Amino acid sequence: MRPTAFLLAAALSAAAPDSAATRTPPQPPPATIAELTARIQKVLDSTHTPGMGLAIVSRDSALYTGGVGLARVAPAMKATDSTLFRIGSTSKAFVALTALALEREGKLSLQDPVRKHLPGFYYRNPWDATDPVRIVDLLEHTSGFDDNSLMGYAIDDPALSLADALARDSATRVSRWRPGTRFSYCNTGPAIVALIIEKIEGKPFEQVIQERWFTPLGMATATYFHPDTTKVAAATLYRPDGRTPVPYWNVFIRPAGAINASAHDMAAYVRFLLDRGAVRGAQLLPPSSIERMERSETWIGARHGLTVGYGLHLYRIADSTGFVWVSHNGGVDGGISDMSYLPEQGVGYAYQINTGNPAAVLEITRLVRAYLTRGLPRGASPARAAIPAGIRREFSGWYESVSPRVQHLYFLDRLTTLTHVSVGDSTLRIAPLFAPAAVFHAQDSMRSFRDGAAMSSIVMLHDAENGRPEGIETFGAALGGSLARLPTWLALVEIVLAGAWAVGFLFTFLAALTGGLRRLVRRLRSLPAPAIPSAPLWRVALLSAALLCVNLVGISIGSDDVRTLGNLTALSGTVYAAGLLFAIVSVGAVVIVFRRRATASRWQWFSLLAAREVLLLNAIAALYMLYWGFIGWRTWV
SS3 of 104-141: the string is HCCCCCCCCEHHHHCCCCCCECCCCCCCCCEHHHHHCC
Tens digits of residue pLDDT in 515-545: 666 666 655 555 554 444 445 677 788 888 8
Residue 558 DSSP class: H
Q: Give me the pLDDT at residue 596, please.
A: 59
Q: Considering Cα of 153, then 155, then 160, then 161, what sign does the dihedral take?
A: negative
Q: Is the pLDDT of residue 6 over 80?
A: no
Instruction: Give residue 20's pLDDT.
Output: 40
| Top-confidence residue, 386 or 537 | 386
**Per residue in 162-202, pLDDT tens?**
999 999 999 999 999 999 999 999 999 999 999 999 999 99
Q: State CA 91 to chain mean position distance.
A: 16
Q: What is the mean pLDDT of residues 584-601?
A: 72
Mean pLDDT of all residues in the chain? 90
User: In terms of pLDDT, which residue wins out, 537 or 578?
Assistant: 578
Q: What is the pTM of this model?
A: 0.92
Reported as a single tens digit per residue, the pLDDT across 439-458 is 999 999 999 999 999 999 99
The closest alpha carbon to 42, from 68, 72, 63, belongs to 68
Sheet strands (E) in 333-407: 335-342, 347-353, 397-401
